[in-house]
Chain A
């Protein structure tokens, strides 16, 4: 029963995929041969009604969800119900390992039905199917993006009035919630100054005082579907020379990758294009020795120190959505953090999120140990530590001949500065 401490649980994503139902304590079955789906919802518990109001009724559920029948979960306890569900002896029951209480199927009065329980196929099937989104799913990701993009703009327009990371975090969450996206897809990353070099910074409560930039990686959910957006902006309304140079480089990485994203492109190729541009860009700024060729820079693997994560991940009901087939054991340091491997299918939704970070750990020690001798020019690098990190992240739908960007907050440098210094209104 719900008590005062209860937070509404997060629906299991595979369950939502087959039901569209986010009510806790439900069950679902789908008979493949009969093409019949059934949703079991919790029965009315009079005591719970006093506290939580009337729960969902079967008739309402029939209207609300795309299922063929709605029953209450207490019916699942009867042998008759289980017999109907299995429909025959030796039926294959497709379940998820560790995710199902099978006692109803193992009770004495249904033992004669001897279902053949398969624990593996269902998870594999759902995880692969979830990669390619249908129109409705894309519409929900788009909506989450529109609301979160608006909240991003509100944050940029509020920087002048904030003195601590948490204030901007609150502005973001407030505007998402007020506009119908109550849940965050992940904990907001509100990282000012050098905190931005921590990829998944969690504190969000440090003063902004002398910091140059803020990296805001935040996105809300709409009906379980996520957005995932990052913008980096100047806290005083104007990027410094160094910040501007890094911002422009990251934007170039993102633009070039954006132009490559289309059906059947190898994600590794797009990711390596970003490294290629980072290598040339950081060399042209003088952070890498100007005498080096891009090949020499990439061979040294130094760009993995400045752009250490993968270019992007699938996005759906999970922020890092399933089906990407990442290989975290890959010995190639360019690819071991890449969350999607292989070709992108049409209607997959993926993030395009390059970044350049000035991470003091482990770089300072490696420089001291001479690991990057002949590659990094420390006297130039020293001017860039205070930039912290720049990441720019948009969510795109893969199309046959290109991609569609669902993120509506601008990443144009003038727009960002304009919102932050008040010359552009939200």
Chain B
């Protein structure tokens, strides 16, 4: 059996490179669980105090992977919303350069995008 190679030559500090890629002096991120339950309670309280249902069952779906083929499009809608305060109708371009259009009505989006074979 071939002998395992010895540890390669010790790296000399290359002055052109940062000593460390990440900055060890930045503070650690916050710890602890995300307070999801308190958010649910807060929403329930808001509903009760603002004329909404006082009881009931909240039911939500998270982002689906099966939509991943069109996910870039949703992201584009999201990014697009931030990129342009659109009034009525704008065109957008997918990564392959095909054009689609996006309309903004009463705060919601509806999209019409021609099918693109390359995306």
Contact = CB atoms under 8 A, between A and B. Distances in A.
B26 A10 contact: no
A118 interface: yes
B35 A32 contact: no
A260 interface: no
Nearest to A66: B36
B34 A66 contact: yes
Contacts of A110: none
Nearest to A126: B43
Given A12-B62, A29-B57, A134-B35, A7 B23 contact: no
B60 interface: yes
Interface string A40-82: 0000000000000000000000001111100000000000000
Given A17-B39, A186-B79, A320-B82, A121 B47 contact: yes
B107 to A, nearest CB: 9
Given A7-B68, A136-B32, A337-B85, A129 B57 contact: no
A20 interface: yes
Interface stretch (A140-148, A206-214, A240-248): A140-148
B78 to A, nearest CB: 7
Given A6-B68, A30-B40, A65-B36, A100 B46 contact: no
B44 interface: yes
A10 B36 contact: no
Given A66-B37, A121-B52, A26 B44 contact: no
Interface string A19-33: 111011111111111
Given A37-B36, A139-B30, A320-B81, A95 B63 contact: no
B19 interface: no
A125 B21 CA distance: 43
Nearest to A95: B59
Contacts of A17: 36, 39
B23 to A, nearest CB: 6
A221 B30 CA distance: 13
B17 interface: no
Interface in A134-167: 134, 136, 139-140, 142-143, 146-147, 150
B34 A30 contact: no
Contacts of B29: 140, 143, 180, 222-223
23 contacts: A7-B71, A9-B64, A9-B65, A11-B63, A15-B62, A18-B58, A18-B60, A20-B34, A32-B53, A37-B37, A65-B36, A66-B34, A67-B37, A85-B57, A85-B59, A86-B57, A91-B57, A92-B55, A94-B56, A115-B57, A121-B47, A187-B82, A200-B82
Given A12-B60, A122-B47, 10 more contacts: A9-B71, A17-B39, A29-B57, A35-B41, A128-B46, A143-B29, A147-B26, A178-B21, A179-B23, A187-B79
